Amino acid sequence: MALNATDRLELSGVSLTLGDQPVLQDLTLATGRGEVLVVLGPSGCGKTSLLRLMAGLVEPGSGTVALNDAPPVPGHGIAMMFQSYRLLPWKTVAANVAFALPDLPRAQREDRVSEVLHLVGLERFADRYPAALSGGMRQRVALARALAPRPDFLLMDEPFAALDAQARELMQAELLRLVGASGGPGVVFVTHSVDEALVLGDRIILLSPRPGRIITDMAVPFARRPDPHDHPDYPALRRTLWERLRQAVLTDPASDFYRPG
């Protein structure tokens, strides 16, 4: 996929230690607006820490992180989404989305809120409270809130992991539709699921157990196709990723699965 040269998120030789734990080691990668980069890896390998580095919430111990050639500043050009919806229960859907646009004059803010609620199909629910919505709908509100300030990049930390299978599939399709639209952000999407990685990713990086290193960086040959599961390359790629994940976990001395000898 051709990356947009003007909106780039780049890591160069990045390592991170938290407390006395080396968490990430020598990561070099670049992504751009319009790409869905999936980060796959075993538990505790540093996936969330990688997103926090990209958002400017932590600084690397060595190496550099750059959003459009400058260190990322929290809240500028980057939005985050998590497994928990993090909605304010005492505010309506519209007010939750508006919360992401504190600097816009009121009329413009209302227009933008309507626009993004329309994008995610929730315009009829603008006056409801989160408690009255299903999990999938709440996650749509969180997506609308993340997209409202038109971020260059959307960093997503297992955002659909708590949804039931059907809602998860709908949200995956929704995300690809929104990213595919012109002006859609670049996405860095963390998941434990090989299938989710293959359905969503233009590119997949696989991290080793902690300290996380990139052990695979692959383009997905059927990215953005309808019905990716039916593509002839799907089973082989799925097997390859599973095998690499399994090997990484089995050879990790810190893993519960490690069996010496």
Ligand X SMILES: Nc1ncnc2c1ncn2[C@@H]1O[C@H](COP(=O)(O)OP(=O)(O)OP(=O)(O)O)[C@@H](O)[C@H]1O
- Judged by the rule CB under 6 A, the positions of this chain that interact with ligand X are 18-19, 21, 23, 41, 43-49, 210
- What whole-number distance in Å separates Cα of residue 211 and Cα of residue 16? 9
- What whole-number distance in Å separates Cα of residue 47 and Cα of residue 232? 29
CB-nearer residue toward ligand X: 101 or 205: 205
DSSP 3-state assignment of 51?
helix
CB-nearer residue toward ligand X: 45 or 98: 45
User: Rounded to whole angstroms, what are the CA distances from 21 to 13, 129, 134, 212, 249?
Assistant: 18, 41, 39, 11, 18
From the CB of 23, what's the least distance to ligand X, in Å? Answer: 4
From the CB of 19, what's the least distance to ligand X, in Å? Answer: 4
189 within 8 A of 83, measured Cβ to Cβ: no
User: Rounded to whole angstroms, what are the CA distances from 134 to 41, 122, 191?
Assistant: 29, 12, 22
CB-nearer residue toward ligand X: 52 or 109: 52
From the CB of 205, what's the least distance to ligand X, in Å? Answer: 12
Tokens 């809130």: give the residue. Answer: 145
From the CB of 5, what's the least distance to ligand X, in Å? Answer: 29
Beta strand pairing status for 8-18 and 62-67? antiparallel
From the CB of 86, what's the least distance to ligand X, in Å? Answer: 16
87 within 8 A of 138, measured Cβ to Cβ: yes
CB-nearer residue toward ligand X: 41 or 201: 41
CB-nearer residue toward ligand X: 32 or 46: 46
CB-nearer residue toward ligand X: 47 or 112: 47
From the CB of 121, what's the least distance to ligand X, in Å? Answer: 29
DSSP 3-state assignment of 127?
coil
Structure token digits, residue 130: 């989160």
